[in-house]
Amino acid sequence: MKKYIVIIISMAICACSTLKQQPSNTKQQKYIKLEKFKGDTLKFIQTSILNRKEFYKGKELNVLLKDLAIPIKRYTTGQSFRPKNQSPDISLYFYNDTEKDLKIAKKKDPIIVTVVWQTPLNTSDVISLIRKYPNWTPEIQEYFGKQIVKDVGKVNFGFNK
């Protein structure tokens, strides 16, 4: 039994020292304005938002929205079944459904930014808002904009490889 404990402790020490030896990439990538990308919205999102996602973590969504500088056409929210009655995230769409479907038909990834909340929201509050404001409005931005970001990503359809 003691042999196994010693082996496990040795493995843990090796793992910790391996982690310490890996270089840390703490340099924050610089934000570049949308205009500099000459219409390449996907490259802008990747470079100025997703590659800088560490900057947005722990901050209100409003910080990301200010940098985003692209009008949001619509949104959807996630729903968790375990634990129940929680909305863990939001997806931001920059196209209407027709534009999104055309991009998919042309095998081009539509840009859909996903944001996971640090603290999941109450599903009944979110559903009540969605029923009242199905599209992105100042009221929706006011509510979601105050929520704290845990992670940022984008939906990958797999067309742009």
Look up residue 126 and give its two tokens.
Answer: 């979110």
Q: Would you say residue 126 has pLDDT above 50?
A: yes
Q: Would you say residue 144 has pLDDT above 90?
A: yes
pTM over 0.85: no
Tell me whether residue 3 is in a domain.
no
Quote the pLDDT of residue 2: 41
Report yes or no: 145 and 64 within 8 Å, Cβ to Cβ: no
DSSP string across 28-53: PPPP--GGGGTT-HHHHIIIIIGGGH
Tell me whether residue 132 is in a domain.
yes
pLDDT tens per residue, range 34-58:
999 998 998 999 999 999 999 999 9
Quote the pLDDT of residue 49: 96
First to last CA, the chain: 50
Out of 57-66, 72-81, 151-160, the most confident range is: 57-66
Q: Enumerate helices (H) and strands (E) in the chain, giving the number of each.
A: 7, 4
Number of domains in the chain: 1
